[in-house]
Amino acid sequence: MSTVTTGEAAPASAMSHRQVLESLSGLLLGMFVSILAGTVVSTSLPRIIHDLGGDQTAFTWVVTSTLLATTVSTPIWGKLADLLNRKILIQLALVLFVLGSALAGFSQDTSMLIGFRVVQGLGAGGLTALSQIIMADIISPRDRGRYMGLFGGIMAVGTVGGPLIGGLLTDSVGWRWNFFVGVPVAILAIILLQFTLKLPKRPDRKVRIDYLGAIFLAGGVSLLLIWVSLAGKNFDWVSAESFWMVGGAAALLVATVITELVVKEPIIPLSLFKNRTFTLAVVASISVGVAMFGTSVFLGQYMQLARGATPTESGLLTLPMILGLLLSSMIVGNLISRTGKWKAFMVTGAILLTVGLYLMSTIEYDTDYVLVSVYMLILGAGVGMVMQNLVLIVQNTVRPEQLGAASSNVAFFRSLGGTIGVSVMGSILGTKVTDLMADRQHDLQVAIAKLGQKGMEVAQSLQSGTLPEVGKLPVGIRTIIEAVYGQAVADIFLVAVPLAIVTIIAILFLPNKKLGTKTAIQQLEESTSGAAATETPAERAEETVVEVAEALIGAPTGSIAAQQARPSDAQEGR
Give the residue ranges of DSSP H helices in 274-318. 276-301, 311-317
3-state helix, strand, coil in the chain (%, to 5): 80, 0, 20
Q: Which residue has the higher pLDDT, 116 or 445?
A: 116
Residue 98: name the closest of 26, 183, 31 by CA: 183
The closest alpha carbon to 496, from 419, 401, 421, 405, belongs to 421
Residue type, 166: G
Q: Is the pLDDT of residue 26 over 80?
A: no
| 112 pLDDT more than 80 | yes
Write down the pLDDT at residue 559. Answer: 42
Q: How many helices (H) and strands (E) does the chain have?
A: 23, 0
User: Taking 90 as the threshold, does the pLDDT of residue 566 lie above it?
Assistant: no
* Measured torsion, CA atoms of residues 366, 369, 370, 372, in degrees rounded to the nearest 10: 90
User: Tell me, what's the pLDDT at 378?
Assistant: 93
Q: What is the DSSP string of 108-142?
A: SSHHHHHHHHHHHHHHHHHHHHHHHHHHHHHS-HH
pLDDT at 574: 37
- Three-state secondary structure along 64-103? HHHHHHHHHHHHHHHHHHHHCCHHHHHHHHHHHHHHHHHH
Q: What confidence category does residue 133 fall into, taking pLDDT thresholds of 50, 70 and 90?
A: confident
Q: Which amino acid is at 267?
A: I
- pLDDT, residue 354, reads 92
Give residue 348's pLDDT: 93
> Given pLDDT bands bounded at 50, 70 and 90, which one contains residue 471?
low
Q: What is the DSSP string of 502-537?
A: HHHHHHHTS--PPPPSS-HHHHHHHHHHHHHHTS-H
pLDDT band (50, 70, 90) for residue 283: confident
How far, in Å, CA of 342 to CA of 461, rounded?
53
CB 288 within 8 Å of CB 387: yes
DSSP letter for each residue of 336-388: HHHH---HHHHHHHHHHHHHHHHHHTT--TTS-HHHHHHHHHHHHHHHHHHHH
Question: Is the Cβ–Cβ distance between 78 and 17 less than 8 Å?
Answer: no
Q: How far apart are alpha carbons 144 and 397 in whole angstroms?
A: 14
pLDDT at 456 over 50: yes
Q: Please give the pLDDT value at position 464.
A: 59
> Distance (Å, rounded) from C-alpha 201 to C-alpha 190?
20
- Mean predicted confidence (pLDDT) in 197-225: 74
CA proximity to 400, closest of 558, 203, 236: 203
Give me the pLDDT at residue 552, please.
45
CA distances from residue 39 to 28, 235, 556 in whole angstroms, order as listed:
16, 31, 62
* Mean pLDDT value across residues 504-513: 88
Partners of residue 443 on adjacent β-strands: none
Q: What is the pLDDT of residue 520?
A: 64
Give, in order, the Cα–Cα distances in Å from 191 to each of 87, 135, 158, 182, 307: 12, 19, 20, 14, 42
Query: Taking residues 328-342, what's their average pLDDT?
Result: 81
Q: Are 283 and 506 in contact (CB under 8 A)?
A: yes
Q: Phi/psi class of residue 558: alpha, beta or left (left: φ > 0; alpha: ψ in -120 to 50)?
A: left
Lowest average pLDDT, out of 331-340, 358-367, 469-478, goes to: 469-478
Query: What residues pair up with 199 in beta bridges, in sequence order?
Result: 8
Answer yes or no: are the C-beta atoms of 67 and 419 closer than 8 Å.
yes
In Å, how far from its chain's centre is CA 72? 11
> With a threshold of 0.85, does the pTM exceed it?
no
Residue 235 β-bridge partners: 231
Averaged confidence pLDDT in the chain: 75
Q: Work out the number of other CB atoms within 10 angstroms of the CB of residue 301.
A: 23
What is the structure's pLDDT at 570? 39
| pLDDT reported for residue 549 | 46
pLDDT one-digit tens code per residue, 390-413: 878 888 887 777 777 787 778 778
Question: What pLDDT is attached to residue 467?
Answer: 61
pLDDT tens-digit map of 47-102: 788 788 777 677 777 777 777 787 778 778 877 887 778 888 888 988 888 888 88
- pLDDT of 3 reads 34
